């Protein structure tokens, strides 16, 4: 278990000004921030899948938990007769981009705790909205 001061240091918050490890590059913290992002985003689609597993006609419907909102504009691809794999790939690419991109874009410089929390909160909210729309799509097909 990481101590609170270790967590703050790993996220870029200096514990003490004379900390010799402070000279680490902010880019070296990106893997930790990606793991934290995954932890912030994964519970919502996992909960939606666990709660609605009896409603699925096929396990491929679980992808709606990752891309419920993305499914609506991705329907344009379905109009042109694209296979289902393209449709699924679009949803997965958007979710993975929302997971990986923020640590690289907003946290490249030395991340402050407030900035880290805002990014993690935004990612969690994005994932919650996607999963909620996925739940509505799965329930809606049963009606």
Task: Quote the distance between the C-alpha of residue 61 and its chain's center.
Answer: 19
What is the 8-class DSSP label of residue 56? Answer: -
Instruction: Give tens-digit pLDDT for 48-67.
Output: 888 888 887 777 777 778 88
Residue 43 pLDDT class (50, 70, 90 cuts): very high
Question: Is residue 1 pLDDT above 50, yes or no?
Answer: yes
Torsion of CA 46, 50, 56, 62, to 10 degrees: 10
Instruction: Give tens-digit pLDDT for 9-31.
Output: 555 555 544 555 555 666 677 78
Give the start-to-end residue ranges of the domains of the chain. Answer: 25-142
C-alpha to C-alpha distance for 44 and 38, rounded to whole angstroms: 11
HSE-up of 9 (CA within 13 Å, CB side)?
Answer: 15
Residue 67 is inside which H or E element, if any?
helix 64-79
CA distances from 64 to 2, 61, 91 (A): 34, 6, 8
């Amino acid at each position: 278990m990481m101590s609170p001061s270790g967590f703050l240091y790993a996220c870029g918050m200096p514990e003490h000004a004379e900390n010799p490890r402070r000279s680490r590059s902010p880019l070296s913290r990106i893997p930790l921030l990606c793991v934290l992002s995954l932890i912030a985003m994964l519970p919502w689609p996992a909960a939606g899948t666990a709660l609605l597993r009896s409603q699925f006609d096929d396990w491929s419907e679980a992808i709606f938990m990752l891309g419920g909102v993305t499914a609506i504009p991705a329907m344009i691809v379905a109009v042109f007769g694209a296979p289902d794999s393209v449709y699924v790939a679009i949803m997965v690419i958007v979710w993975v981009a929302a997971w990986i991109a923020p640590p690289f874009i907003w946290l490249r410089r030395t991340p402050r705790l407030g900035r880290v929390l805002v990014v993690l909160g935004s990612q969690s909210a994005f994932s919650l909205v996607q999963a909620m729309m996925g739940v509505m799509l799965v329930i809606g097909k049963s009606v």
